[in-house]
Amino acid sequence: MAHILIIEDERPIAQSIAYTLKREGFDVTIATDGAEGLRLAQGPLIPSLIILDLMLPSMGGLEICRAVRQQQRAWIPIIMLTAKAEEIDRVIGLEIGADDYLTKPFSMRELVARVKATLRRPAAEAQPEPVLAYHGVEVDLTRHSASVDGAPLELSPKEFDLLALLLRQHGRAMSREEILRQVWGEEGLYRDPHTVDVHVRWLREKIERNPAAPARILTIRGVGYKFAE
């Protein structure tokens, strides 16, 4: 399933994009702050596509675009959102490497069409991401697949992201709040931290030999969770 990162500070716009894309079957994460958006773009969930607003607090869209293009994940397609028609010239003129752009206001139908068209294009130089494998659990970030003791795992998008995060940070205890922010993005700020407990429980049922006595995802008292070292 394609995972789409929306970096847009106007919350109503971000939410209506998220709502539309979820309805189309996409997995969606929102960031309303530029720096937070870039962090998520570099995080454990690799976005299949980024919808990026040009004008953002703390770090602008151009800067984010440039940063993404200079990294291992330079292949991630970016659709730029601009407020005024004249900004388009800037986006194109600067050759910052956005794949497409939409001028506000745009229809959700147009957005969906652009997203699908962009995702259909072959990713130019997709760099394979490392396969994470610890204690019999394997997550292939490029293929978006996971297995336990060699058997394929059926995971929901958030279970997959959570497992990828835990594996990537294996041996390090993470708080529920940190996990919420990494996996749920902006939405995580408004989520009950127990959301994490629920997802950990579901994951344990799928990857632990004995979910009642977990040996892979460990509970760290007073902190949160960690994947066994």
Per CB under 5 A, residues contacting Ca ion are: 9, 53, 55
Q: Taking the complex as a whole, how short is the minimal distance between the CB of residue 10 and Ca ion, in angstroms?
A: 5
Q: Which is nearer to Ca ion, 94 or 117 (CB)?
A: 94
The encoded tokens of residue 122 equal: 């072959």
Sole residue written with tokens 């931290």: 193
Cα distance between residue 134 and residue 118, in whole Å:
34
* Residues facing 171 on adjacent strands: none
Q: Taking the complex as a whole, how short is the minimal distance between the CB of residue 32 and Ca ion, in angstroms?
A: 9
Q: Taking the complex as a whole, how short is the minimal distance between the CB of residue 140 and Ca ion, in angstroms?
A: 35
Are the beta carbons of 56 and 7 closer than 8 angstroms?
Answer: yes
Q: Taking the complex as a whole, how short is the minimal distance between the CB of residue 54 and Ca ion, in angstroms?
A: 7
Q: Which is nearer to Ca ion, 67 or 173 (CB)?
A: 67
Q: Which is nearer to Ca ion, 9 or 177 (CB)?
A: 9
Residue closest to Ca ion, measured at CB: 55
Amino acid at 226: K
Amino acid at 172: R
Cα distance between residue 108 and residue 112, in whole Å:
6
Q: Taking the complex as a whole, how short is the minimal distance between the CB of residue 69 and Ca ion, in angstroms?
A: 20
Q: Which is nearer to Ca ion, 60 or 157 (CB)?
A: 60
Cα distance between residue 207 and residue 66, in whole Å:
38
Q: Taking the complex as a whole, how short is the minimal distance between the CB of residue 77 and Ca ion, in angstroms?
A: 20
**For 76, left (φ over 0), alpha (ψ -120 to 50), or beta?**
beta
Q: Which is nearer to Ca ion, 159 or 186 (CB)?
A: 186
Q: Which is nearer to Ca ion, 53 or 138 (CB)?
A: 53
Are the beta carbons of 210 and 216 closer than 8 angstroms?
Answer: no
Cα distance between residue 90 and residue 132, in whole Å:
40
